[in-house]
Structure 1
Amino acid sequence: MTLALLSALASSGSVFGTEVSTTPLGTGEVSVFTFDGGVKIHNFNTKDVMEDNAFVVESKTGLVAVESLAFKKDFPFWGDYLKKLGKPLQAVLISNHPNNAAAWAGDAPVYVSEEAWKAMHSGSTKGIMTGLSKAYGPDFDTALPAAPKMLSLGEHVFEGVRIDVRTDGDGNEFLFPDLKATYIHMMGSECHSIVGGAAHADALIGQLEALKKEGVTLLFTSHWQPEGVKAMDEKIAYLRALKATATNARSKDEFIAAMKKAYPKYQGEHYLDMTAGFFFPMKK
Structure 2
Amino acid sequence: MQIDLAGRTAVVTGSSQGIGLAIATGLAHAGARVVLTGRGAGRLQEAQEHLRRAVPSAEVSAVAADLARAEGAEQLCAAVPHADILVNNLGIFGPTPALEIDDALWREYFDVNVLSAVRLIRAYLPGMTRQGWGRIQNIASDSAIVIPAEMIHYGMSKTALLAVSRGFAKEAAGSGVTVNSVIAGPTRTGGVEDFVYSLVDRSLPWEEAQREFMRVHRPQSLLGRLIEPEEIANLVVYLSSPQASATTGAAVRVDGGYVDSIVP
Q: TM-score, normalised by structure 2?
A: 0.35
User: Which of the two has greater strand per residue?
Assistant: 1
TM-score by length of 1: 0.34
RCO higher in structure (CA 8 A, sep ≥6): 2
Would you tell me which structure has more helix in proportion to its own residues? 2
